[in-house]
Structure 1
Amino acid sequence: MPVGLTSLTRLGTLNLSMNHLTGNIPAEIGSLERIETLDLSSNKLSGPIPQTMVSLTFMNHLNLSYNNLSGKIPTSNQFKTFIDPSIYEGNAGLCGHPLPTDCQGNKETPPVPSADEEDDDSKFDRLWFILSVVIGFCFGFWGVFGTLAVKKSWRYAYFCFVDKVKYAVLDFFSAIATYLQKRS
């Protein structure tokens, strides 16, 4: 991989996939501070993933699949968010999270959050959501039906309106039935 590319510090996207690149990923790749998308897939790159790549904090898309990379996948900064194993697919020598292959001598496995565990913020958000639904239902329901129960004139007007709609619907279907009987 050309080391000269690492001097393009304002680069946002770099796609070098399927270029038959060989050698290691240069350690200087960490100087691409503004890179958001990096695709080095389907090449013949070898060696470890440089530790300097953890400093690429703007990166939100990474694809290193189908190379000859080896070693432990970095686990800090942005690499914590790259949990899709397909990013590293086709690199038999890679190990560590999110791949099912643990690195030898690494007894520590990343914790997998269980479905029962929720952080306090999500519990608080859920509580507020439920509370707002209940309050909204109460105000909406009792705002309409409470008023109908208390105000006789509104109740009378409402039920007159419902009767008019009922008779209009019945008249409509009666007219259609009459029309269909005359046609047959």
Structure 2
Amino acid sequence: MKMLDSLDLSHNQLSGEIPTSLAEIHTLGVLDLSNNNLLGKIPTSTQLQSFNASTYAGNDGLCGDPLPLCPEDSLRPSTTNPRENVNEKDDNIFSFMQEVVISMAFGFIFGFWGVIGSFILKKSWRNAFFSVLDAAGDWFYVRIVVFVSKCKRSLNSKF
């Protein structure tokens, strides 16, 4: 049994504690002990703690890493990260959303108010901006009129 690669004992109505001999199978890559009647603490400092919590789901009597702490462990200060049991994917999405909101706030403050504030405070900048905008509008208008007249001329010459 020491060369076992995968072990699925789910839905077998197993009861009692997880045997420590199971922790001695170092080649075990997949384990499923879910939906049984197991109880007690998952053996500590073993490979069994490296599996996901779903490996032990449906065993209401089990506790210890990666599941919630056992009652006797709650009396001692925890040496692990309290956010360790939080789903990492949800945590990353939450921090990403925080970063997006913060970036949008800074972008609005510096971008929008930087431009509008400068136009409000500096009349010369405001006049220069709108004269450039008028010149660009006039340039586009002339380009469009020339293009339309060329198109009309080429259509008239074909017929």
Pairwise TM-score range, normalised by the shorter structure:
0.3 to 0.5
The structure having more radius of gyration, on CA atoms, is: 2
Q: Counting helix residues as a fraction of each chain, which structure ranks higher?
A: 2
